[in-house]
Amino acid sequence: EAGVVQSPRYKIIEKKQPVAFWCNPISGHNTLYWYLQNLGQGPELLIRYENEEAVDDSQLPKDRFSAERLKGVDSTLKIQPAELGDSAVYLCASSRRPRGSKQTNTEAFFGQGTRLTVV
């Protein structure tokens, strides 16, 4: 089974430029997460999708960050314009919870991340 696939692996851009990251979750996984990870820190949740609905975007800086998950499968995360402080690794993860289930406790699988450097 293929894991979570992210692209690109690395991206270097100048500040004020836009950038986009793409994520393909594990087939059948209805929950998708975007995390930001700074060097030496744990991942911080940016946004969480249940199918195509963003159910938790409280940590997403909406003035410059946006995300979408059309058709409830692949997702893109965009930053426009990028700032120097956005340099970090952006991780995508997915998990599966049966529709209509209130069960939590679902393991999330992570992609390798996109390392963004803003210069």
6 vs 82, which CB is nearer to another protein?
A: 6
The DSSP-derived string for the chain is ----EEE-SEEEE-TT--EEEEEE--TT--EEEEEEE-TTS--EEEEEEETTEEEE-TTS-TTTEEEE-GGGS-EEEEESS--GGG-EEEEEEEE---TT--------EE---EEEEE-
1 vs 107, which CB is nearer to another protein?
A: 107
Residues in the site for another protein, rule: CB under 8 A?
A: 4, 31, 33, 35, 40-45, 48, 55-56, 91, 93, 95, 97, 104-113
Shortest Å, Cβ 50 to another protein: 8
Shortest Å, Cβ 115 to another protein: 8
81 vs 97, which CB is nearer to another protein?
A: 97
